[in-house]
Amino acid sequence: MTNRTEAIVRDLLTAFNEVMDKHNITHDEYRAGVAFLTEAAEAGETTLLHDALLEASVVTHDNDGPQAQVLGPYYLPDAPILESGQLAGEEESGERVTLTGVVQDTSGNPLPNATLDIWQSDAEGRYSNFDEGTTPGNLRGKVVSGQDGSYSVHTVVPAPYQIPHAGPTGRVLEVLGRHPWRPAHIHMIVSADGYEPLTTQIYFEGDPYLDSDSVRAAKPELAFPLEDSSAGKTLTFNPVLDT
């Protein structure tokens, strides 16, 4: 074990023990806590529970830059490269939008050949491979920025999304008086040789849940307007990569 691991484990236990002492935790309550964690694991909510309650703090402290966001539980590696930039197929329902922008370094220089690995829910708030009624791999794909750093993705506007709340994670949110909604968002991991990968999410200006994201991730600086253009609705986002 490294010194850091030892220090963190010690502090975690100190913090837990302080809370237990402060509230005079009984044996019944202690067992209920252990049973709760077991139930969350058995319900397949281990990642959800931790991402929803804790991951936003990691993003804050990990110094990943102003555009960094939680990864969340629905990322899958190995999405295909979309040569056409068509993330949503013709038959996908929902409002069409072209997501576009220029990948840049922190000085504003365009970055060619950056990979944008994108995933999102559909217009009904469903993630492929996790929610019923979806096609595996749907709305997941990569695009590569051109020589001028620009990229363009054709997709549909996702819907605000309720994190699964019928199980243990939902009970915690209820205890905390928090609703399960996340504002509509599109996830991406942007990477380029020689730069730190950026895990981010972009949001839509005017979304009713921007101020009360159930996972405490959304922020107004990452909410962008849907703009009209001759090619339909456009959303512009310029990812910035640091070394």
- How far is residue 3 from each of residues 15, 18, 63, 87, measured CA to CA in Å? 18, 22, 21, 45
Annotation says 187 is catalytic: yes
237's contact among Fe ion, ligand DHB, none, with CB below 5 to 8 A by partner kind, is none
Binding mask 141-170 for ligand DHB (x = CB under 6 A): --------------------x-x-------
Contact (Cβ atoms closer than 8 angstroms) between residue 147 and residue 225? no
Q: Could you tell me which stretch among 8-16, 54-62, 65-73, 94-102 binds Fe ion (CB under 5 A)?
A: 65-73
- Does residue 72 touch Fe ion according to CB under 5 A? yes
Gap between the Cα atoms of 126 and 108, Å rounded: 35
Asked if residue 210 binds ligand DHB (CB under 6 A), the reply is: no
Give CA 134 to chain center in angstroms.
19
117 lies in the binding site for ligand DHB (CB under 6 A)? no
Residues making up the chain, counted from first to last: 243
Residue 215 interacts with ligand DHB (CB under 6 A): yes or no: yes
- Radius of gyration of the chain measured on its C-alpha atoms: 20
SS3 label, residue 206: coil
185 an active-site residue?
yes
Contact call for residue 182 and ligand DHB (CB under 6 A): yes
Angle at 166 between CA 155 and CA 174, to 5 degrees: 105
* Residues in 70-89 that interact with ligand DHB by CB under 6 A: 70, 72-74
Residues with catalytic function: 127, 161, 182, 185, 187
Question: Which residues lie near ligand DHB (CB under 6 A)?
Answer: 48, 51-52, 55, 70, 72-74, 161, 163, 182, 215
